[in-house]
Amino acid sequence: MKQVYQLITFALLSLFATSQVHSDEGMYPISEIARLNLSQKGLQLTALELFNPNETCLIDGICRVNGCTGSFVSPQGLIITNHHCAYRAIQSASSTKNDYLKDGFQAKTKATEIPAAGYTVRVTESFTDVSKQVLSVVNADMSFVERSKAISRKRKLIEKRAEEENPGIRAEVAEMFTGKTYVLFLYTYIKDVRLVFAPPSSIGNFGGDVDNWEWPRHTGDFSFMRAYVAPDGSTADYSPDNVPYQPKRFIQVAPQGANESDYVMLLGYPGRTARHKTSSFLSFEQDVRLPYIVDLYGRQIETMEKAGELDRAVALTLLSRIKSLANTEKRSRGQLKGLTRKQIVAKRSAEEQKLQAFIDADPVRKAKYGQLLDNINSVYQTLSETAVEEANFQNLRSTSQLLRLAFTIYDGAHERQKPDLERESAYMDRNFSQTISRLKMIQKDLNLNVDQALLAQLIDQMKNDKMEVPALDGLVLEDLYKQTKLKDPTFLQTCLNQTPEQLKANSDPFIQLIVKLYPQYLELRESSKARDGQLGLYYGELITLKQQFLDTDFVPDANGTLRLTFGTVRGYSPEDAVYKSPATTLSGVVAKTTGIAPFITPEKVLEMSEKREFGPYMHPKLKDIPIAILYDTDTTGGNSGSPILNGKGELVGVNFDRAFEATINDFAWNTEYSRSIGVDIRYVLWITDKVYGAKHLIKEMGLN
């Protein structure tokens, strides 16, 4: 791999370097590692061995796999991540004849590894604070929409230039603190990713949605993938000539695992948290958005599950979507429960009252910020009034995959006529081929009956909500679904080549429907940009104020960039008189097995458990195979697949979930209830090595 130009600066440090870091936060940007005194907590490496901007270090072994995290565990680009992270790839490769979701998959040789279409792998190479550059384009006279557009344009420009200067590299300007801090990340970007090994879903998804977001847990949620590059080391689309990527560093797997009270740390790409948002935002989540999601997704999951029940071929087109909706639906329920039980809104509101008193105590501050909290609150108030209607309307094109296709085609035709930097990001030259391959994947899994049922449901819902959308009046859905040709790949390609005018004359009923709905989508896009501009400005001020008020620094909310979190393997007490210990065992899997999904266990696992064929993977004290562990790190979605590392930086497990109470983490972290869940490496190795005999992978990881 060509050595990437290192743009590292320590500018990010200056964002946090004034005083102590707020102790409630635990997803540290890697620039912070040196300040954390991790050796006192149990780290046996130096901070520089963990992260060194000038030399190879541990973080070079961590990658982002689509929205998840992975670790390179061999010099040959072998990646360990979660089964649920590879799920889409496993589903795509499965058919009723080769049902890898049901039976698992193992490539005995590299040549039989299966391309995972739509998957990319990124490795963080460098980061630079570009806040000044980004914010140089805004001024006090701008409207909120202008502000939002100017910032977005500047971010795109910086990204584009960085990619031109560093061919093959992916650039992204991440917003660290809303409206205030921006950092340019450069990534090695790998587009040929393949599936290497996946256990059957009865292991990788044992317990299914019943056990999802729960502890105790008995899921072997892991899989192996591999990253490939062109023979000259450059990034390339899939080709049989590509060769395994050689990471600068790989993470050593430690078969001894981690036990209660051990220090652990996770590196990964946590997606989104909202800990710096106001109580009015939290009220909006609690009263409007989360209940809406629970309701909508609940119905959609039921419809899709029914459709898949009788026909495995149908199920194989829907499972990944069902899984993802079910994950969000249950997390949202957890969050709703946590918000009320822990009185998160009231607590944040009390903090804001103190902040208001601080503002009011100083006439200069009062003149400048006196209205700030009220201003933010009124944005959410306005949003609440229209949110359900907006959500229904926006969800039309995520609920119906045909509408999604039609929308992207039509929107793309408009956007592609604009200069590159003025386009919505999906249609920029640097992103467009990915957008098209996503469309093709959607098309491949299209199921017209299910699509129709889901769309009909949502339209009914809109009627119940008394929404007036003239374009939907009198639609006969059966006719639309009979007439559409969007399922045909050649037709899709034709549409993608058409101009907006040609599309207006296109007779496909879904294109026609989108042509009618489009002006309303554009209005919503503008209003959401105005809102972003407004909130961006206000939240930028709020963070500055809070830093003054609390005389402390904050760690930015998770935003999909590389972070470190650390903690200890430990149990917890979710409610009065209940204590849950932090390790589960194979005996627990057997005890939970009923033979009815999702509690089915492969015969071989049961037999080997019965005969106690544990090999070297037995837990010395429990005298059993350890399955999952629980620890008090600070994680969120995106940390799925994160390595659980011991003090020496060796991999002892793979993170995949949180306890139900910890779903509230996304709004407020607390050591009492925040617990993450990972699969113990001993279970991973036992399944891979002893149960499915993939000795070559064990060897490749340098074990045995």
Q: What is the DSSP string of 550-566?
A: HT-B-PPPP-SS-EEEE
Could you tell me which stretch among 489-497, 498-506, 583-591, 654-662 binds ligand ASP (CB under 6 A)? 654-662
Q: Which of 135/266 has CB closer to ligand ASP?
A: 266
CB of 327 to ligand ASP, least distance (A): 5
Question: Interface mask (CB under 6 A) for ligand ASP, residues 318-337, using x and -?
Answer: ---------x----------
Q: Which of 180/563 has CB closer to ligand ASP?
A: 563
How far apart CA 249 and CA 525 sit, in angstroms, is: 43
656 binding ligand ASP? (CB under 6 A): yes
Query: Of 159, 172, 285, 657, which one interacts with ligand ASP (CB under 6 A)?
Result: 657
Could you tell me which stretch among 253-261, 607-615, 652-660, 681-689 binds ligand ASP (CB under 6 A)? 652-660
Give yes or no: 71 in active site. no
CB of 331 to ligand ASP, least distance (A): 7
408 binding ligand ASP? (CB under 6 A): no
69 binding ligand ASP? (CB under 6 A): no
CB of 582 to ligand ASP, least distance (A): 16
How far apart CA 144 and CA 375 sit, in angstroms, is: 13
Cβ-based neighbour number of residue 373 at 10 Å: 21
Q: Which of 235/636 has CB closer to ligand ASP?
A: 636
How far apart CA 427 and CA 420 sit, in angstroms, is: 8
* 182-187-192-193 Cα dihedral, nearest 10 degrees: -80
Longest alpha-carbon distance in the chain: 77
Query: Of 178, 639, 646, 688, which one interacts with ligand ASP (CB under 6 A)?
Result: 639
Pairing mode, strands 243-244 and 192-198: unpaired
CB of 212 to ligand ASP, least distance (A): 7
Which residues have a Cβ under 8 Å from the Cβ of 183 and sit 6 or more positions away? Answer: 12, 127, 128, 129, 130, 131, 173, 174, 176, 561
CB of 301 to ligand ASP, least distance (A): 15
Phi, psi of 485, rounded to the nearest 5 degrees: -115, 10
Could you tell me which stretch among 359-367, 526-534, 599-607, 656-664 binds ligand ASP (CB under 6 A)? 656-664
How far apart CA 260 and CA 318 sit, in angstroms, is: 39
CB of 425 to ligand ASP, least distance (A): 23
Three-class DSSP category at 353: helix
CB of 639 to ligand ASP, least distance (A): 6
Could you tell me which stretch among 11-19, 539-547, 549-557, 653-661 binds ligand ASP (CB under 6 A)? 653-661
105 binding ligand ASP? (CB under 6 A): no
Q: Which of 50/558 has CB closer to ligand ASP?
A: 558
Helical pair 372-399 and 448-464, crossing angle rounded to 10 deg = 140
Three-class DSSP category at 318: helix
Among residues 71, 83, 84, 400, which one is catalytic? 84
CB of 694 to ligand ASP, least distance (A): 25
**Torsion over CA: 660, 666, 669, 671 (sign):** positive
Q: Residues 54, 7: contact at Cβ < 8 Å?
A: no
Give yes or no: 84 in active site. yes
**What is each CA distance from 588 to 23, 577, 687, in whole angstroms?**
36, 22, 16
Could you tell me which stretch among 142-150, 155-163, 523-531, 632-640 binds ligand ASP (CB under 6 A)? 632-640
286 binding ligand ASP? (CB under 6 A): no
443 binding ligand ASP? (CB under 6 A): no
64 binding ligand ASP? (CB under 6 A): no
636 binding ligand ASP? (CB under 6 A): yes
317 binding ligand ASP? (CB under 6 A): no
Q: Residues 27, 267: contact at Cβ < 8 Å?
A: no
Q: Which of 31/205 has CB closer to ligand ASP?
A: 205
Phi, psi of 641, rounded to the nearest 5 degrees: 90, -5
Helix and strand numbers (H, E) in the chain are 26, 19
Assess whether the previous peptide bond of 598 is cis (omega < 30° from 0): yes
Query: Of 273, 278, 635, 688, which one interacts with ligand ASP (CB under 6 A)?
Result: 635
Give yes or no: 221 in active site. yes
The long-range contacts involving 576-580, CB below 8 angstroms and separated by at least 24 positions, are 580/215, 580/216, 580/630, 580/659
Q: Give the single-character DSSP code of 289.
A: I
Q: Which of 126/639 has CB closer to ligand ASP?
A: 639
Site for ligand ASP in 664-703 (CB under 6 A): none
Query: Of 640, 646, 674, 688, which one interacts with ligand ASP (CB under 6 A)?
Result: 640
CB of 319 to ligand ASP, least distance (A): 15
Query: Of 637, 643, 649, 678, which one interacts with ligand ASP (CB under 6 A)?
Result: 637
Q: Which of 396/659 has CB closer to ligand ASP?
A: 659
Q: Which of 115/207 has CB closer to ligand ASP?
A: 207
Scan for tokens 């660290």, then name that residue: 176
Structure tokens at 528: 């959401």
How far apart CA 504 and CA 491 sit, in angstroms, is: 15
Q: Residues 511, 471: contact at Cβ < 8 Å?
A: no
Could you tell me which stretch among 18-26, 300-308, 564-572, 629-637 binds ligand ASP (CB under 6 A)? 629-637
Could you tell me which stretch among 140-148, 454-462, 585-593, 655-663 binds ligand ASP (CB under 6 A)? 655-663
* 664-669-674-675 Cα dihedral, nearest 10 degrees: 100
Among residues 131, 223, 320, 640, which one is catalytic? 640
How far apart CA 349 and CA 572 sit, in angstroms, is: 27
Find residue 315's DSSP bridge partners. Answer: none
633 binding ligand ASP? (CB under 6 A): no
For the chain, report the end-to-end CA distance as a whole number of angstroms. Answer: 28
377 binding ligand ASP? (CB under 6 A): no
How far apart CA 24 and CA 37 sit, in angstroms, is: 16
CB of 134 to ligand ASP, least distance (A): 29
Query: Of 330, 658, 682, 690, which one interacts with ligand ASP (CB under 6 A)?
Result: 658
CB of 348 to ligand ASP, least distance (A): 21
**What is each CA distance from 497 to 118, 172, 425, 504, 522, in whole angstroms?**
22, 28, 19, 13, 21
Among residues 192, 221, 262, 624, which one is catalytic? 221
How far apart CA 471 and CA 473 sit, in angstroms, is: 6
Q: Which of 197/631 has CB closer to ligand ASP?
A: 631
Scan for tokens 């587009």, then name that residue: 191
CB of 345 to ligand ASP, least distance (A): 21
List contacts with ligand ASP (CB under 6 A): 327, 635-637, 639-640, 656-658
Q: Would you name the residues annotated as active-site residues?
A: 84, 221, 640
